[in-house]
Structure 1
Amino acid sequence: MHYPLNTPLGRMGVQTLEESPDRCVASIPVAGLRNPLTSAPTVAPLAMLVDHIGGLVNHYRRADDEWTVSSELAIELTPHALDLITATPEVPVVATARPFGPKGTGSLGLCELAHGGRLVGTATVRSFHIHAPGHLVAWPVDSTGGTPPATLEDRMSVQVAEAGGRSAVLRQLPDPVINNSIGIVHGGVSAAALELVASAALSDGSGDGSGDGMRTASLRVNYLRQFRGGAESRYEARALRIGRRSGVADAQAIGDDGQVALVARLTAYR
């Protein structure tokens, strides 16, 4: 399934290849996409793919009067994931998701990520089943042609506010195109942005002053409350530790109201 460019999935180039209650498959292109804070190749778009496909397999377990919202997202990548992806950027990353365990509080979807037939990671998405809200926004039906914006910054409607040192900040601009069906920033977009700021916070100020070669190994995100783009909406990250071989950073999404909406921890290795 191809999505219109004026939807978050279409903007990010996601395609759903297969969907059923037992198995969902989707892909995302990563060719030429770079972290706007560091200009380095990035795995951040994988968070968008995982949130979509893991959430979709959980969504199939809802009752007729229920909806699903993400509560947790976790990604674990192999040490060579970024190298494989950047070596053949024209090949999309494909995610396969299956339900794991019974439906319940925090229903769990289990995902495998592959690139060119080689596994590059695993991931999980937990979803709450809630009563279907009465304010669902219908997906737009126009703007199906063309291609997504060239840069990741434009695809996600973010803007660099602070870079360098042991912290990083991205602004989340208000843009209905990156909102989900309940009118808030799509969970995959916000998770990807948290990866961008957290990995950027680890890119400078290591023991030798360079931070070169730090690769994201794991990203864990908790969704605390609704997050909307706005004049003061932003993603912030700070490095907790940068060592010779590994680094850890915390990140959060803060809304216009000053409330923390999402939190994340990223671990990276050289």
Structure 2
Amino acid sequence: MSYPLCTPLGRFGVVTREEGPHRCVASIPVGGAVNPLTAAPTIAPLAMLVDHVGGLVNHHRREADEWTVTSELSLELIPEAVDVVASAPDVPVVATARPFGPKDEVALGLCEFTHRDVVLATATVRSFFIRAAGRVSKFPDGPTGPPPPVPLAEKMAVTVAEGGGAGQVLAQASDPVLNNSLGIVHGGVSAMALEMVASAALNASRPHEPLRTASLRVNFLREFRSGAQSRYVGTTLRVGRRTGVAEAQALHADGPPAIIARVTAYR
């Protein structure tokens, strides 16, 4: 199943090949994706695929009057993931998700990602169930904003912003296509941006020996809406010779972080 360009999944080329309560399979193009802060190849689109396919298998377990909201996701990658994708950039990454454990007030989806015959990553998505009456929004009626192919940052409606000594920053502009069915910025879009600012923070002083993302962990704390002051900020916790850890936050004009993430990277 392909999605219209006026939806977040259509904007990023996500295709759902199979879906149901016991197994979901989807793909996303990753080759050629570039982090706008570093100009280096990025695996950030995998975060979009994690949120979609892991959330989808959880969504298929809902009751008739329920909707699912992602509360956290994690992604664990092999060190060579960027190189594997670059070896055949026109081949999409495919993810297979299955339910893990019973459905209760929350549900857990377990995912595996492959590129051709290579297993690139494993991931999990934890979703909780809400009563959806009156909360689900409609997507725009037709294409809005840049259609593919354009740079990843343009698809995400993010621009490099001044960090002011506080780290690496991407500003999140408003774009109705990037909102999910609850009218807030799609969790996969935010997860991508958080990985990119954290990775940029880790590599700000080492352009020739970059640290590569090995794990991404995201917690969705509250609704994140785009706007004039909406931004993603990445700062380092520790950077060593062969490894580093950074944190990232999705922030509004004021108030506490809406989403937080931690990235661990290795050379």
User: Shorter-chain-normalised TM-score: which range?
Assistant: over 0.9
- Whether 1:52 aligns to 2:49 is no
| Structure 1, 30-39 or 133-142: larger mean CA deviation | 133-142
The one-character-per-residue Cα deviations of 1:151-194 (angstroms, maximum 9, x if unpaired) are 01111111100379882000010111100001000000001100
Which residue of the partner structure matches residue 171 of structure 2? 171
Q: Which consecutive residues of structure 1, in runs of 5 or more, have no partner in the other structure?
A: none
Corresponding position: 1:233 with 2:230: yes
Q: Given the superposition, is the C-alpha separation of residues 248 and 53 from structure 1 closer, same or farther in structure 2, using an over 3 Å criterion?
A: same
Equivalent residue for 2:245, pick from 231, 245, 248: 248
Contact 1:164–1:201 (CA<8 Å) still a contact in 2? no
Aligned mates of 1:19, 1:25 — CA distance in 2: 6
Q: Could you list the runs of 5+ residues in structure 2 that have no partner in the other structure?
A: none
- The offset of 1:32, in angstroms, is 1.4
1:147 Cα deviation (Å)?
4.8
Structure 2: distance between partners of 1:23 and 1:115: 18
| Structure-1 separation of matches of 2:198 and 2:264 | 9
Give the alignment's Cα RMSD to 1 decimal.
1.8
Equivalent residue of 1:83, what SS? helix
TM-score norm. by structure 1 comes to 0.94
Secondary structure of the residue aligned to 2:18 is strand
Q: CA deviation at 1:257?
A: 3.7
Note if contact 1:164-1:204 (Cα within 8 Å) is conserved in structure 2: no
Q: Give the 5 Å matches for 1:8-27.
A: 8-27=8-27
- % identity of equivalent residues: 63
Confirm or deny: 8 A CA contact 1:139 1:181 kept in the other structure: yes
1:218 to 215, 218, 226: 215
CA displacement 1:177-228 (0-9 Å, x = unmatched): 10000100000000110000000001123xxx54623110000000000000
- 1:77-156 residue pairs with structure 2 within 5 A? 77-143=77-143, 147-156=147-156
Deviations 1:51-87 (CA, angstroms, capped at 9, x unpaired): 0000000000100110000000000001211110112
